[in-house]
Amino acid sequence: MRQALELFWERGYEGTSIAELVSAMGVTPPALYAAFGSKENLFREVLELYFSGVGFDPSIYFVLPTAREVVERFLREAAAAYSSPAHARGCMVATGMLGYAPEHQGVAMHITELRRVAREALEARFRAARKAGDLPKDADPAALAGFYFSVLQGMSVQARDGASKNQLLRIGEVALRALP
């Protein structure tokens, strides 16, 4: 599974062939299909592996006491994770399937849903912060969540293009200044 994760992360869903998967995983095509049923099912399981160990965990939104600490932490963690030499650069969910062929719409919608759930969790955290007085009453939680997810996605693309951890951290510092 780890080899499949690395391939999908580096090349995206459509850029990864069954031949590459079976070669990397050391299995035969029939064994891959017997174990997972399809490339799509394998990808979905790989996404679970990604979130269990490497991907961003939105539960931090509700652990930290202030919205500023939440935003600062996820921007800092994203900069480190996206630029890490330990795995493919960027975020697998942000960049793994932006464009797709019509026959892969199910996979694309699954990734879209994962992004939506994470963005809505951040929006809920911003609503709670506004209610608690941690954000101004006129703060727009939906717009703030959309903005910070756009920053994260942009940082992912920058990392894929070779941006260093320090460059990504500077982007995060600028973005943090937008928080009211």
Q: Provide Rg for the chain, Cα atoms.
A: 18
Q: What single letter denotes the amino acid at residue 20? A: E
Helix and strand totals (H; E) in the chain: 9, 0
* Least confident segment among 1-10, 30-39, 90-99, 169-178: 90-99
Question: How many CB atoms are closer than 10 A to CB 177?
Answer: 6
Specify whether the CB–CB gap between 70 and 121 falls below 8 A.
no
Enter the tokens of residue 74.
């996820």
Task: Give dist(CA 53, CA 144) in Å, integer.
Answer: 27
pLDDT attached to residue 62? 79
Specify whether the CB–CB gap between 53 and 9 falls below 8 A.
no
pLDDT attached to residue 20? 96
Which pTM does this prediction carry? 0.89
For 13-26, the pLDDT digits (tens) are 999 999 999 999 99
Enter the tokens of residue 119.
């963005």
Where residue 98 falls among pLDDT bands split at 50, 70, 90?
confident
